[in-house]
Chains A and B, each alone.
Chain A
Amino acid sequence: MTFAETAGVGTADAVPTPVLAARTRGLRKLYRNTVAVDHVDLDVPEGAVLGMLGPNGSGKTTTIRMMLGLTTPTAGEIELFGARLPEAAQSVLPQVGALVEGPGFHPFLSGRENLLRCAAAEPLLKSAAIPAAVSEALERVGLSDAANRRYRGYSLGMKQRMGLAAALLVPRRFVVLDEPTNGLDPAGTREVRAVIADLHKSGTTVLVSSHLLSEVEATCTHVAVLHQGTVVAQGELKDLLEASNAGLLVSTPEVTAAVDALRDNRIPARAVPDGILVDLAATSAPEVVATLVRADIPVYEVHRQRTGLEDLFAQLTETP
């Protein structure tokens, strides 16, 4: 489907391409006969904080694992910084830090020993720089005091922060965080948001997956919404918000009659707590008001309401 397009990108530097930290085309993953992910065309612009939003089971983690070379896609292509995976794994992955599917560490080792072990595998770390890098990462996530305790005794939040520390052992160009605030208390969540903001400020591209909208709304510049294994919307957060259908909130005591009257005139509307919400995609505000008046519906108040990301999310993932 997208082979011609990608061939062009792969071969020539002359073709002007937007600077992308990550790019997938036609990504597909089958587990036995179940389609986990299909037709995933994802663009992560360099410098962006992209929120990958989707309910549990929508294929976020599978997509991330394929993007990092952990899982082999059934079909499709992956590029990181313009280089194809898995061939270029050894040259691009050192620049990528990731926390995937929760933190993974050995319970019998201390936090510091665990990180020393991770650091030993990091290609971009010079052997002499390892102890300092580990201390710095521990400091950054606030685990310095607990560094010499066994990982076994860490709280859920501390474990999550260890995962973050491992991803941040080396200055990265791209950081992938899969559900980073899982199990964190509000203070911990704020800390993670601060870390993401820091990374963004320093020019690092960040991909955060979450099933929580507030999370994405609070931290991201870009958003991609996954639903049942496919990307149903993606783009800059502000574009997505603007492009989304504005609604007209009509305050009225006769909710049912109002909805019926509008529907009789082929204007989509639905009941909300304060009255009805009218979709303005195919109509205009004056026409809605006129229709209601013609139907003798009392109207107390009418005002335009821009949908929040939450509404967008609900719309996109609503099962028909």
Chain B
Amino acid sequence: MTTLAPVRAPILRLLRSELRWIYRRPRTLILLGLLALYPILFGIGTQVVDAPVRANGDQSVVAAVAGNAMMLPVIVLSTTMVFFLPLGTTMTASDALAGEASHGTLRGLLLAPVSRIRLLAVKAFGVAVVSAGAAVMTALIAFVTGLIIAGPDSLVTFSGTTLPLADGLWRVVVATGWVIVQMWAIGAIALAVSAATEHPLLVMASVIGGLFVFGLLSSIPVLDWLHPFLITESWDSIVDVLRDPMPWENLTTGFLRALCYIVIGYSLALARMVTKDS
């Protein structure tokens, strides 16, 4: 009988292979394309809508909200974070485990073998990179679009102050980072669901449907005791980066709440991964 030493495939190779797989998938690319287009269309749209209003010597609400290089990325992020970014995140997470299981490819990875905990880590990495990449790309395109449309002196906050370019960029970075952490929370929950089923569509339906239900619940005043437990509760506070001085309180609460969701999501995913039959 020979004694065999455990051998593992290099983790970097696994991560690279995972990313290559994700970014080769047509629907990932379609969604990224839409996300890239959205800020440009949004920026141009505000200008077009605004033109007749400005002709009358007035300013439209849209222009006040999104007509500058500071607000455009934040408003774009705040609108994409309620649907498109969670959609992309959930899509990636649903393909990561449920999708691979339904194609029979999860077996292949487990047989190679990639240990279940390692596999979960690789999948979590893939989901995290996709959501972070999508958010950064969207914010960057929106920031540049805003600068082109309204110029570098247009970084006006809700409070009426005008920020220097570096400050404005810093605010956009904070907003982007914050959105990324929120998306990681969604990704963690989606991966947990993804580990529990072989039907990727079920993951999509339950997570996107769940977010929709959260939205409904948070509008029911009787359930206000429940509201602080909902991940969506602090999503409005992303616009706090547009206030000057910047109130950190709600952003911090939202950040910590997302961290709790991440811990819960990955714990459930881990428990499911080590017990599931593939």
Interface, chain A (partner B; CB < 8 A): 13, 17, 19, 65, 68-72, 81-83, 88-96, 98, 100-109, 113, 116-118, 120-125, 127, 166
B1: CB under 8 A from chain A?
yes
Say yes or no: A120 contacts B1, CB within 8 Å. Answer: no
The complex places the Cα of A92 from the Cα of B111 at a distance, in Å, of: 10
Other-chain contact of A90, B2, B6, B13, B104 (Cβ < 8 Å):
B6
Which 7 pairs from chain A and chain B are nearest by CB?
Answer: A104-B104, A120-B17, A90-B6, A121-B112, A91-B4, A123-B7, A82-B1
From known contacts A94-B7, A101-B104, A113-B24, infer whether A70 and B112 are also in contact, taking CB-CB under 8 Å.
no
The complex places the Cα of A107 from the Cα of B20 at a distance, in Å, of: 15
* Range for the number of chain B residues in contact with chain A: 20 to 34
The complex places the Cα of A65 from the Cα of B16 at a distance, in Å, of: 28
The complex places the Cα of A116 from the Cα of B14 at a distance, in Å, of: 11
Q: Which residues of A sit under 8 angstroms from B2, Cβ to Cβ? A: 81-82
CB distance from A225 to the nearest CB of B (A): 25
Scan residues 1-25 of chain B and give those whose CB is less than 8 A from a CB of chain A: 1-2, 4-10, 13-14, 16-17, 20-21, 24-25
| A–B complex contacts, Cβ < 8 Å, 18 sampled | A68-B111, A70-B277, A71-B278, A81-B2, A90-B7, A93-B111, A98-B111, A101-B104, A104-B106, A105-B105, A108-B26, A113-B24, A117-B17, A120-B9, A120-B14, A121-B14, A122-B9, A123-B112
Interface, chain B (partner A; CB < 8 A): 1-2, 4-10, 13-14, 16-17, 20-21, 24-26, 103-115, 275, 277-278
CB distance from B21 to the nearest CB of A (A): 6
Say yes or no: A121 contacts B108, CB within 8 Å. Answer: yes
CB distance from A19 to the nearest CB of B (A): 8
Q: Which residues of A sit under 8 angstroms from B115, Cβ to Cβ? A: 89-90
From known contacts A104-B104, A120-B9, A124-B7, infer whether A94 and B113 are also in contact, taking CB-CB under 8 Å.
yes
Q: Which residues of A sit under 8 angstroms from B20, Cβ to Cβ? A: 117
Say yes or no: B13 contacts A120, CB within 8 Å. Answer: yes
Q: Which residues of B sit under 8 angstroms from A116, Cβ to Cβ? A: 17
From known contacts A72-B277, A81-B2, A105-B103, infer whether A123 and B24 are also in contact, taking CB-CB under 8 Å.
no
Q: A81-B4, A121-B108 given; name 19 further pairs at CB < 8 Å.
A: A13-B1, A65-B277, A70-B110, A70-B278, A71-B278, A89-B113, A91-B6, A94-B7, A101-B104, A104-B106, A104-B107, A116-B17, A117-B20, A118-B112, A120-B9, A120-B13, A121-B109, A121-B112, A127-B13
Say yes or no: A108 contacts B278, CB within 8 Å. Answer: no
Among B8, B20, B112, the one with the most A-chain Cβ atoms within 10 Å of its Cβ is B112
Say yes or no: B105 contacts A106, CB within 8 Å. Answer: yes
Other-chain contact of A109, B5, B21, B112 (Cβ < 8 Å):
B21
CB distance from B196 to the nearest CB of A (A): 16
Other-chain contact of B9, A82, A96, A104, A121 (Cβ < 8 Å):
A121
The complex places the Cα of A167 from the Cα of B150 at a distance, in Å, of: 59
Q: Which residues of B sit under 8 angstroms from A166, Cβ to Cβ? A: 108
Say yes or no: A81 contacts B1, CB within 8 Å. Answer: yes
Q: Which residues of B sit under 8 angstroms from A96, Cβ to Cβ? A: 111
Say yes or no: A109 contacts B103, CB within 8 Å. Answer: no
Of all chain A residues, which has the CB nearest B2? A81
CB distance from B100 to the nearest CB of A (A): 8
CB distance from B267 to the nearest CB of A (A): 20
From known contacts A70-B107, A100-B111, A104-B103, infer whether A88 and B17 are also in contact, taking CB-CB under 8 Å.
no
CB distance from A22 to the nearest CB of B (A): 13
Say yes or no: B14 contacts A100, CB within 8 Å. Answer: no
The complex places the Cα of A82 from the Cα of B269 at a distance, in Å, of: 32
The complex places the Cα of A103 from the Cα of B7 at a distance, in Å, of: 25
From known contacts A104-B104, A108-B24, infer whether A121 and B7 are also in contact, taking CB-CB under 8 Å.
no
The complex places the Cα of A109 from the Cα of B108 at a distance, in Å, of: 15
CB distance from A205 to the nearest CB of B (A): 14
The complex places the Cα of A71 from the Cα of B14 at a distance, in Å, of: 23
The complex places the Cα of A166 from the Cα of B17 at a distance, in Å, of: 16
The complex places the Cα of A161 from the Cα of B21 at a distance, in Å, of: 22
Of all chain A residues, which has the CB nearest B17? A120
The complex places the Cα of A17 from the Cα of B1 at a distance, in Å, of: 9
Q: Which residues of A sit under 8 angstroms from B4, Cβ to Cβ? A: 81, 83, 88, 91-92, 95
CB distance from B11 to the nearest CB of A (A): 11
